């Protein structure tokens, strides 16, 4: 299995690590740290040195309670960073839900679009189809401002799975080949702790769609709920969660701590292939 990702083709025999670069003043765990173009670019390059297989650059926080930024502001934050990363030896993914941002990012050399709204914005599937980038279709219930206000499901896994199936079908109908797709259950996006745990425990059920699973658990509040640790102090639970996700079939792990996650995965991988 491999993922077509712009000019890259990523083999998926071992779980890949996607390093997070937030060019935002308000992201929940590293907001404000990489607002400056140079700092964001240096951070991305450092993550590649540490073994990131991809980097994911986002200029709008989607954390619970976050307010949307204007499209112009998102582009103003994002584009200089993308231009400076054009020569990166690994694919650059852009975390955005806006069509104009997708188009400009792809024109500037982005190899993947990571859309927490799973290409539901009008024109989004066409914007992606017109390129050869990979795409992440993520499940979210509600919108970031209100999504953590008492989310309700019947069976969370069936509901998420049905949504992802419908978005895969929509993407393919728009001309996006299956080898370009990844899906993500969207941990923490309109889910209570019990929903997140159920999704992690039954992650394997989402593999039925036959496209690689991308998972973001790094530093999330569900890990805070389990350990009592603040976001800046969730390295150990993030590593535990990444390993569990890999064990349950995740193929791409979206993380803030690349070196530590790679090391932990190396141990897991060694045991698996011994």
Name the site residues for ligand HH2 (rule: CB under 6 A): 20, 22, 24, 27-29, 58, 61-63, 95, 114, 116, 136, 138, 184, 186-187, 214, 216, 254
- 46 an active-site residue? no
- 141 an active-site residue? no
Q: Is 79 or 94 the residue whose CB approaches ligand HH2 more closely? A: 94
Q: Is 25 or 175 the residue whose CB approaches ligand HH2 more closely? A: 25
Measured from the CB of residue 38, what is the shortest distance to ligand HH2 in angstroms?
19
Q: For residues 199 and 217, is the Cβ–Cβ distance under 8 A?
A: no
Instruction: Give the separation between CA 185 and CA 139, rounded to whole angstroms.
Output: 5
Measured from the CB of residue 28, what is the shortest distance to ligand HH2 in angstroms?
4
Instruction: Give the separation between CA 53 and CA 27, rounded to whole angstroms.
Output: 22
Taking the CB of residue 238, how many other CB atoms lie within 10 A of it? 24
Measured from the CB of residue 31, what is the shortest distance to ligand HH2 in angstroms?
7
Quick one: how far is CA 66 from the chain centroid?
17
Which residue among the candidates 98, 180, 234, 254 is catalytic per the annotation?
254
Measured from the CB of residue 184, what is the shortest distance to ligand HH2 in angstroms?
4
Q: Is 66 or 265 the residue whose CB approaches ligand HH2 more closely? A: 66
Residue nearest to ligand HH2 (CB): 216
Q: Is 27 or 161 the residue whose CB approaches ligand HH2 more closely? A: 27
Measured from the CB of residue 57, what is the shortest distance to ligand HH2 in angstroms?
10
Measured from the CB of residue 151, what is the shortest distance to ligand HH2 in angstroms?
15
How wide is the angle at C-alpha 263 spanned by C-alphas 13 and 78, nearest 5°? 80
Q: Is 73 or 267 the residue whose CB approaches ligand HH2 more closely? A: 73
Which residue among the candidates 4, 167, 220, 251 is catalytic per the annotation?
220
Q: Is 78 or 87 the residue whose CB approaches ligand HH2 more closely? A: 78
**Residues forming the active site:** 220, 254
């Amino acid at each position: 299995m491999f993922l077509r990702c712009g000019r890259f083709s990523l083999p998926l025999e071992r779980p890949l690590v996607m390093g997070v670069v937030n060019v935002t003043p308000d992201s929940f765990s590293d907001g404000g740290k990489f607002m400056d173009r140079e700092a964001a670019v240096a951070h991305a390059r450092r993550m590649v040195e540490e073994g990131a297989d991809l980097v994911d650059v986002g200029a709008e926080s989607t954390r619970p309670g976050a307010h949307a930024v204007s499209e112009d502001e998102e582009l103003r934050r994002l584009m200089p960073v993308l231009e400076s990363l054009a020569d990166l030896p690994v694919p650059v993914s852009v975390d955005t839900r806006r069509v104009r941002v997708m188009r400009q990012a792809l024109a500037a050399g982005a190899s993947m679009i990571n859309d927490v709204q799973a290409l539901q914005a009008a024109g989004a599937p066409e914007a992606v189809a017109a390129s050869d980038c990979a795409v992440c279709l993520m499940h979210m219930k509600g919108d970031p401002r209100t999504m953590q206000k008492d989310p309700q499901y019947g069976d969370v896994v069936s509901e998420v799975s049905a949504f992802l199936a419908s978005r895969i079908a929509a993407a393919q109908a728009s001309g996006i080949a299956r080898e370009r797709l990844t899906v993500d259950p969207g941990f923490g996006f309109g889910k209570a702790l019990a929903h997140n745990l159920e999704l992690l425990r039954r992650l394997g059920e989402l593999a039925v769609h036959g496209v690689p699973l991308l998972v973001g658990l790094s530093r999330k509040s569900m890990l805070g709920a389990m350990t009592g640790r603040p976001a800046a102090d969730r390295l150990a639970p993030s590593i535990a969660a990444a390993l569990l996700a890999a064990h349950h079939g995740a193929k791409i792990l979206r993380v803030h701590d690349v070196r530590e996650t790679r090391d932990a995965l190396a141990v897991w991988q060694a045991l698996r292939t011994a």
